[in-house]
Amino acid sequence: MDLFDRILKQAGPLGKYAEVAEGYYMFPQLEGELGNRMKFNGREVVCWSINNYLGLANHPEVRKTDAEAAARWGLAYPMGARMMSGETKLHQKLEQQLAQHVGKQAGLLVNYGYQGVVSAIDTLLSRHDVAIYDAESHACIVDALRMHIGKRFAYTHNNIASLEKCLARAKRLTDGTEGGILVITEGVFGMRGDQGKLREICTLKEKYGFRLFIDDAHGFGMLGETGAGAAEEQHVTDDVDIYFSTFAKSMALIGGFLAAKPEIIQYLKYNMRSQIFAKSLPMPLVEGLLKRFELLRDHPELREKLWNNVRMLQGGLKERGFDIGDTNTCVTPVYMHGEVEEAMALVKDMRDNYGVFCSIVVYPVIPKGMIILRLIPTAVHTEEDIQITLEAFSAVRDKMQQGVYKNYVPQVIV
């Protein structure tokens, strides 16, 4: 069969909805200043779909630093990969500050979060090693392990008994060999909002002799006394061997970083192909990240405002009888029952008639008959935003229960 013939016959689990969903349900275009209120389809909406946790995306000091840095350096400097011609003192300064903040001795910048996780895990593992990961890990972890030619086991989400069974199997396979064991989990699971059980995982380290890698994309800047993430929150900073976070959430930019012992960072620095063969992060981004990190570190009131909003939103949803699962972070999933078409009708009603924009998750990402509406509270949301949203959720739930959305036929929305 011709390659393109096969591709065109298989649109994929999400692509099959493209004709009626693209531009509205998928690939929607939010316009205006990044913040709590944006424009969608020409209407102002309360926006719960951007990971701007601390409100840094449009912070005046951030905007000023970004503009001045772009004027000073342009977007090309430094040219080339860091190993060849792209190294600067500011790149090193940012790495050192971030590593120190999360309790590690050394850090390494990566150009993209997804790419960084894939490449780091690929670099750490040999064919002799066994990887064990939470079954609900982010796609970047799953894709990294698809590249691993050794053994890999998935344990049931946050189930320590399941993890220990995997560890026992891994230990039998690696004892007396060149192989080691790497356990991979998330600090915060971005769909459910629950934290990885880092403390319980770490109690097994001595017995099974594994190393622990955590992807703390949603935890950094949000959790812990100083915003150092899930490991700080759970008091296991020293037991996490390799810490990763993206800049695309609390830091409101692009890229990410790894932090670990100096010898591990040195190994990654000289062996991560995605960094060796990629251009260095442009200087305006590095200066912008230094400013963002300064605000994250030195202004705990941003985190306090965020958590005030989280408590108000999640508390209001619970009081109205909504199921928000086991979240113990800012990520706020609202679980409902219904088919894909009902979900589309509900979301259209919410956006067009109630002025509330949040992400929708349906089959095949989650089981058939389930709907998740995911909200991301930030420090810049207001009490009015929350009240508008709570009223909207109550209204659309009532309509859902009355069967108002039952016979909705999705159409192309212009």
d(CA 251, CA 186): 18
What pLDDT, in 10s, does the model give residues 388-402? 999 999 999 999 999
Segment 283-295 mean pLDDT: 98
Q: What angle do CA 148, 218, 63 make, to 5 degrees?
A: 120
Residue recorded with tokens 């424009």:
39
Q: Is the pLDDT of residue 14 over 70?
A: no
So what's the pLDDT on residue 197? 98
When the pLDDT of each residue in the chain is averaged and rounded to a whole number, the result is: 94
What class, spelled out in words, does domain 60-298 have in CATH?
alpha beta
Percent residues over pLDDT 70 in the chain: 98
The listed CATH number (3.90.1150.10, 3.40.50.300, 3.60.60.10, 3.30.930.10) that belongs to domain 12-53+300-401: 3.90.1150.10
DSSP string, 306-342: HHHHHHHHHHHHHHTT-B-TT--SS-EEEEEE--HHH
Strand 332-337 to 370-375 pairing:
antiparallel
Residue 276 reports pLDDT greater than 80: yes
Cα(263)–Cα(158) distance, integer angstroms: 30
Contacts for 94 with CB less than 8 Å, ≥ 6 apart: 107, 109, 257, 286, 289, 290, 293
- State if pTM tops 0.75: yes
Q: For residues 289 and 406, what is the distance between their CA atoms, to the nearest angstrom?
A: 47
Which two structure tokens, joined as six digits, stand for 155?
Answer: 């344990």
Residue 412 has pLDDT above 70, yes or no: no
pLDDT in tens, 182-192: 999 999 999 99
Per-residue confidence at 13, pLDDT binned at 50, 70, 90? low
| Extents of the domains making up the chain | 12-53+300-401, 60-298
| Mean pLDDT, residues 344-364 taken together | 92
Tokens of 349: 């009603």
